[in-house]
Amino acid sequence: SYVLTQPPSVSVAPGKTASITCGGDNIGSKSVYWYQQKPGQAPVLVIYYDSDRPTGIPERFSGSNSGNTATLAISRVEGGDEADYYCQVWGRSSDPVVFGGGTKLTVL
Amino acid sequence: EVQLVESGGGLVPPGGSLRLSCAASGFTFSTYWMTWVRRAPGKGLEWVANIKEDGTEKYYVDSVKGRFTISRDDAKNSLYLQMNSLRAEDTAVYYCARVWDGIDYWGQGTLVTVSS
């Protein structure tokens, strides 16, 4: 089955840019989705089709995807951005939804 | 406004059964794939099962195959997950969600605890 690899944690100072990576074999050939999950809340889709933002998601959130790595970037990080972030791709019919292991973003 | 509201979670002993329900509103339920995703304590998101718009295709993660059954009733705008032979490792918050450009809407989740 297809495997997505994320760093367990990323720390960033307020106002700086956080980059969260998602590694996968030739992931650049797939569409990547990113979700934000805060404690006690449901996940929220923040990026779809590699780099598109749903309505209501701030422009500070951006995505890119090439080669074996997709990246979620959060600029001008705020305390409210502290959350777990997950990447996701569509796999084969036998394993259609693949999530990365998640990255905990800490704002210092 | 799209809303997904799960119910049916609770405490169940190992080997027991539960049926989760998800009431959908604010969109044409019958035209969307739907999915169940769970998050166990201290773990990340794990996809559980998908069902096609017309219910003719269903997919499951290997760990629940033969034990869980996903179904839908488009007349009632409802999604279900029948869980049998429950194990301790099935303990998690279970989310009902809509599949479109990604998994674009999620319910708030219902907690399933498998313990004696």
| pLDDT in the model for residue A91 | 85
| pLDDT in the model for residue A96 | 87
| Cβ atoms of B113 and B10 closer than 8 Å | yes
Over residues A7-28, the pLDDT tens digits come to 999 999 999 999 999 999 999 9
Cα dihedral B58→B59→B62→B63 (10° resolution):
-60
Q: How many CA atoms lie within 13 A of A106 on its CB side?
A: 6
| Cβ atoms of A105 and A12 closer than 8 Å | yes
3-class DSSP state of A76: coil
Cα A34 to the center of its chain, rounded Å = 4
Q: Tell me the two tokens of residue B82.
A: 């029948």
Q: Of B50, B59, B106, which is closest to A43 when you measure between CB atoms?
A: B106
Cα B18 to the center of its chain, rounded Å = 11
Q: Of A33, A42, A95, which is closest to B108 when you measure between CB atoms?
A: A42
Low-confidence ranges of chain B (pLDDT < 50): none
The residue type of A9 is: S
Over residues A64-85, the pLDDT tens digits come to 999 999 999 999 999 999 999 9
Beta partners for residue B100, in sequence order? B102
Confidence of residue A95 (pLDDT cuts 50, 70, 90): confident
Maximum alpha-carbon separation in chain A: 42
Over residues B32-47, the pLDDT tens digits come to 999 999 999 999 999 9
Residues of A in contact with B103 (CB under 8 A): 33, 35, 43, 45, 88, 97
Whether residues A35 and B61 touch (CB distance < 8 A) is answered with no
Lowest mean pLDDT of A10-14, A86-90, A93-97, B2-6, name the range.
A93-97
Beta partners for residue B46, in sequence order? B38
Whether residues A43 and B45 touch (CB distance < 8 A) is answered with yes
